[in-house]
Structure 1
Amino acid sequence: MGRVKTAYLHVLNRTLNPIALGLAKRGRGPFSVIRSVGRRSGRTFETPVILAESSDGLVAELTYGDRVNWYRNILHGGGHVIHRGRTYRIVSVEPLSAEAGLAAYGPAPAAILRVLHRREFRLIRVEAAPTGPSQGH
């Protein structure tokens, strides 16, 4: 990994991510949280993401591709999503066409995603999760 990318990810993880996580957990702003368990470490991780709603679930645009840890973790062991202040259990993850993914985000965000040549989307099917102390918020 190059120095610039490493520095960018360090700044992102130390500044923007904590702010985005706080907003997402309170149901504010555009962010949601993916809560997953590490495939090797067994640790619980929380990653801020921007998800769109669809009639079938939540839509994720894979900005950094399908090799990112949060995505690989939910494929391996499931997880939870905190979206608009509510917690959901991830039931399944499925590929989604670029057209369906862009449509889920709506006209303005889709225009930005098109300019950025974003074409990799996933449908995250969820169900309401039980609430209580085990949810960790």
Structure 2
Amino acid sequence: MVLPRTLAKLNRHVTNPILGRLAGKVPPMSMVVHKGRKSGRPYRTPVWAFESEGVYRIALTYGRDVDWVKNITAAGGFELETKGTVVLLVDPVVVHDASAAWAPVGVRQALKVMSATDYLQARAA
């Protein structure tokens, strides 16, 4: 079971503004910068991102059907603020991996407990 939508709403209005101050500066916290598919409005979504050889992976703890994932897959790319820099990422794709083998050990166990079996993968442009 991925995290419930009610928790997502709480995070959007309470937790994200607080974590947003750290995201992009303190690894593995990062900030996905994207635009709305219909509105074109800019959005910033804090995530945990992990990089290996120019490929970035982001755990989809709320599942694959969240707006920010739809926005960046429709756009074909997005910016990721991580470790104090901005990286342009392209070719985003949602991947299913029940083992979470891509994630560091501690994160892997947490993802398994949450049944977060999907992640978003994109490569640096």
TM-score relative to the length of structure 1: 0.76
Question: Larger relative contact order (C-alpha < 8 A, sep ≥ 6)?
Answer: 2
The answer on whether the counterparts of 1:61 and 1:121 sit within 8 Å (CA) in structure 2 is: yes
User: 1:31-110 counterparts in 2 under 5 A?
Assistant: 31-77=29-75, 78-98=77-97, 102-110=100-108
User: 1:113-132 counterparts in 2 under 5 A?
Assistant: 113-127=111-125
- Give, in whole Å, the separation in 2 of the partners of 1:92 and 1:67: 18
- Give, in whole Å, the separation in 1 of the partners of 2:36 and 2:23: 21
The answer on whether the counterparts of 1:38 and 1:73 sit within 8 Å (CA) in structure 2 is: yes
Could you tell me which amino acid in structure 2 is paired with residue 81 of structure 1? L
Q: Deviations along 1:22-67, whole A, 9 cap, x unmatched? A: 1114x12531111111001111000001111222411111112222
- Name the one with the larger strand percent: 2
- The secondary structure found in structure 1 opposite 2:21 is helix
Match of 1:132 in 2: none
- The secondary structure found in structure 1 opposite 2:120 is strand
Q: How many residues align?
A: 121
User: 1:5-24 counterparts in 2 under 5 A?
Assistant: 5-6=5-6, 8-24=7-23
The answer on whether the counterparts of 2:61 and 2:114 sit within 8 Å (CA) in structure 1 is: no
The answer on whether the counterparts of 1:80 and 1:90 sit within 8 Å (CA) in structure 2 is: yes
Structure 1: 4+ residue segments shifted above 3 A: none
- Name the one with the larger helix percent: 1
Gaps of 5+ in 1: 128-137
Gaps of 5+ in 2: none
- Give, in whole Å, the separation in 1 of the partners of 2:101 and 2:23: 22
Could you tell me which amino acid in structure 2 is paired with residue 68 of structure 1? V
CA RMSD of aligned residues (A): 2.1
- The secondary structure found in structure 2 opposite 1:87 is strand
TM-score relative to the length of structure 2: 0.83
Q: Deviations along 1:63-111, whole A, 9 cap, x unmatched? A: 1222211111111112211111110112111343516x72332111111
